[in-house]
Chain A
């Protein structure tokens, strides 16, 4: 069963604008972690941000923030003030404690920043 869903295969954003990348997840476990990774064209996987299921506040890391809506099971990534270097593939992931810390990944969203 699909545990992580990313419905936007591709997104475009104007430089300096904000963009939201959608992610929904599916689990009945009370304890889980939500992550976002960036994969530029060079291929490496770069960790961006983490949100724990018990965290009350939305996570933020510089220009990245995670809009965590637990009741809706969504964990959207917001990138503020987009830069050309933000053009990349973005993956949402979930880890479940009860499955041996396995990580489940979505299919990714390709973001292109337009100058």
Chain B
């Protein structure tokens, strides 16, 4: 039981190309999140979802698109990749309710040339 699976783990692409990062969970947690991690900025929230078909913007949503047609999947798409989107991307999940920690995937390292 892998819990949270992110794919691809590593991706190199060129400016202007579309890229999709996949996130799959086996736990049926209600909440799913996408963060990006950059040196000096910690983790910043891109988008999150409280349930299937419910998504909302986080702190840095520009240039990204998400969808959640099924509870277990939460793909993140960069419609036209830019160099500033070079980063490590983490998918995370959380149970419904007020308390409880985030569970993280292993991360996807994206390089945009």
Contacts and interface: CB of A to CB of B under 8 A. Distances in A.
B interface, by DSSP: helix, strand, loop or mixed?
strand
Contact of B33 (A4, A97, A103): A103
A100 interface: yes
Given A43-B107, A44-B104, A100-B56, A52 B99 contact: yes
Interface residues of B, number: 26
A31 B98 contact: yes
Given A105-B42, A105-B43, A107-B42, A43 B106 contact: yes
Interface of A: 4, 6, 31, 33, 35, 37, 43-45, 47, 50, 52, 91, 93, 97, 100-108
Interface of B: 31, 33, 35, 40-45, 48, 50, 56, 58, 88, 90, 92, 94, 98-104, 106-107
24 contacts: A33-B98, A35-B101, A35-B102, A43-B107, A44-B106, A45-B92, A50-B99, A91-B42, A91-B43, A93-B43, A97-B98, A100-B50, A100-B56, A101-B31, A101-B48, A101-B50, A101-B98, A102-B48, A103-B33, A103-B45, A103-B92, A105-B44, A106-B42, A107-B40
